[in-house]
Amino acid sequence: MGSIETTKVAGYGSLEGKVALVTGSGRGIGRGIALELAKRGASVVINYAASSKPAQEAVKEIESTGSKGIAIQGDMTKVADIRRVFKEAIDHFGRLDIVMSNSGTESFKKEEDVTEEDYDKVFALNTRAQFFVAQEALKTLENGGRIILMSSVAATMSGVPNHALYAGSKAAVEGFVRSFSVDCGPKSITVNGIAPGGVKTDMFDENSWHYAPGGMYLFLCLWHISSCFSSRPNSSESGAIVAYLQCFSAKLC
């Protein structure tokens, strides 16, 4: 894990006094999002399914910014765990203002070889879990809260073989965002989805060869050809987008 800038952000964009829950935030994009929120002053709940050590390390990074953080174990595929994590977060901090549903997994398999177990595993975490996290957030957040769900460019892109499970699981999330936006309106809770592309994380590094036969090297070459930017996005940039969606100026987004 490389070093991450931990300078706190003040003034415009400050989240001082806010409390955020980020699911699946012991590593990868979730960890980057959690740290970006902490840099803006938010207290952050790190959620992890099984690996305690990375989650505790993430808490230390949060505390290094001057913000408060705790780690709470919970398997987001289990509704009882979702409810418990929300309760423990509120018991600790007294409130929740921001819920970022980030937990997810990826699957590449020939469509004719996909099993029921494969289907259930992907949709349980990428789709079902996000619905019930959003549901619990709707029940729990006060007026003016923020809900963000994790989609992917895969929800709308084409041309990637053996990707139906993952793409379908993320497309459903975009439907959730549009519908929950209506249902959360009476409480002035905004609901948004973010759809990152090839963000540099350990999960993507493990799967890059599925996107390009030459693995990470060829993927990076293709990225430089197709993107107007010279570098590939990292998790902190996803975090900056999430942080913007918490600002007052994003209240109608």
Q: What is the mean pLDDT of the chain?
A: 84
SS3 210: helix
SS3 232: coil
Name 42's Cβ contacts closer than 8 Å, sequence gap at least 6: 15, 16, 18, 19, 20, 67, 97, 98, 246
* Number of residues in the chain: 253
Q: Looking at the DSSP assignment, which residues form a beta bridge with residue 148?
A: 100, 192
More confident residue, 186 or 252: 186
What pLDDT score was predicted for residue 1?
Answer: 43
Topology of the domain comprising 19-197+234-250: Rossmann fold (3.40.50)
Q: Is the pLDDT of residue 116 over 50?
A: yes
Q: Is the pLDDT of residue 26 over 80?
A: yes
Q: Is the pLDDT of residue 211 over 60?
A: no
The catalytically annotated residue of 18, 39, 67, 166 is 166
The catalytically annotated residue of 67, 152, 208, 236 is 152
Q: Is the pLDDT of residue 10 over 70?
A: no
Mean pLDDT, residues 146-155 taken together: 90
Supply 84's token pair: 């418990």
The Cα–Cα gap between 51 and 27 comes to 10
Lowest mean pLDDT among 30-34, 37-41, 54-58, 105-109: 105-109
Per-residue pLDDT tens digits for 52-83: 999 999 999 999 999 999 999 999 999 999 99
Sign of the alpha-carbon dihedral angle for 20, 89, 200, 181: negative
The catalytically annotated residue of 18, 48, 107, 170 is 170
CB 26 within 8 A of CB 235: no
Q: Is the pLDDT of residue 223 over 60?
A: no
Mean pLDDT, residues 232-239 taken together: 56
Active site residue 152: yes
Per-residue pLDDT tens digits for 93-108: 999 999 999 989 987 7
CATH 3.40.50.720 segments of the chain? 19-197+234-250
Helix (H) or strand (E) run with residue 32 in it: helix 28-39
More confident residue, 146 or 247: 146
Q: What percent of the chain has pLDDT over 90?
A: 62
The phi and psi torsions of 72 (rounded to 5 degrees) equal -130, 125
What pLDDT score was predicted for residue 232?
Answer: 55
What pLDDT score was predicted for residue 202?
Answer: 58
Q: Supply the pTM of this predicted model.
A: 0.82
Helix (H) or strand (E) run with residue 91 in it: helix 79-93
More confident residue, 176 or 110: 176
Q: Is the pLDDT of residue 185 over 70?
A: yes
The Cα–Cα gap between 29 and 4 comes to 13
The Cα–Cα gap between 147 and 127 comes to 15
CB 99 within 8 A of CB 19: no
The Cα–Cα gap between 152 and 203 comes to 14
Q: Which amino acid is at 222?
A: L
Active site residue 3: no
Lowest mean pLDDT among 59-68, 89-98, 153-162, 217-226: 217-226
More confident residue, 162 or 138: 138
The catalytically annotated residue of 101, 151, 235, 238 is 151
CB 170 within 8 A of CB 154: yes
Q: Looking at the DSSP assignment, which residues form a beta bridge with residue 141?
A: none
Residue that the structure tokens 């979702």 belong to: 82
More confident residue, 199 or 103: 103
